[in-house]
Amino acid sequence: MSIREKFHIPELYASYENVKSLKIEAANLISWDLTPRQLCDLELLMNGGFYPLNGFLNKTDYDGVVENMRLANGSLWPIPINLDVTASFAKSLNNGQRIALRDQEGVIIAILEIADIYEPNKNKEAEYVYGTNDISHPSVNYLYNKAGDIYLGGKITGIQPVVHYDFRAIRDTPNELRSFFKRLAGIE
């Protein structure tokens, strides 16, 4: 195993060869327009920032994270990473279905293969994850007043990275940062 392979964090992007066919498929799928917060979560999932997650948490992983900060496989994970949607949108979905995820401009960023559609216990999530149900806490306020009532969990296939027009020089991915630090240390 090379040093690069040893330190490389898996990313969730489709291979170059598969991107064109995935774009065609995604154009014909039901789609969800991501909020800025959801887009940030998606970006961190795709670029390995949320490794070892390979998508939004399914119900079993969500329950484990909320109750004891552990994924179903026992890995430590401190906070739920879910795609929250409206109940009306969720009614049109089924487990196993694939949906396109779009940014605010309508650009298809990824495909989600739905593994779970579930209603979270937001009171429990607030109390266990944030230690309070007080809406003066920003994350609790978001949970109760902005987050959708239904969570979708499932595997992500990234089609293209999120485009940023600001702070480009400091938007390195985890793998880019690892490579930079290895160069600084003289490892590469």
**What pLDDT is recorded for position 166?**
86
Closest CA to 30 of 162, 152, 163: 152
Q: What is the pLDDT of residues 60-79, one digit of tens each?
A: 999 999 999 999 999 999 99
Q: What is the pLDDT of residues 158-167, one digit of tens each?
A: 999 998 888 8
User: CA-CA distance, 156 to 81, in Å (whole number)?
Assistant: 12
Domains and CATH numbers, the chain: 3-185 (3.10.400.10)
Closest CA to 106 of 152, 163, 21, 37: 163
Is residue 82 classed exposed, middle or buried when 0-12, 13-18 and 19+ CB atoms within 10 A define those classes? buried
Provide the whole-model pTM. Answer: 0.91
At 56 the three-state DSSP class reads strand
**What pLDDT is recorded for position 183?**
85
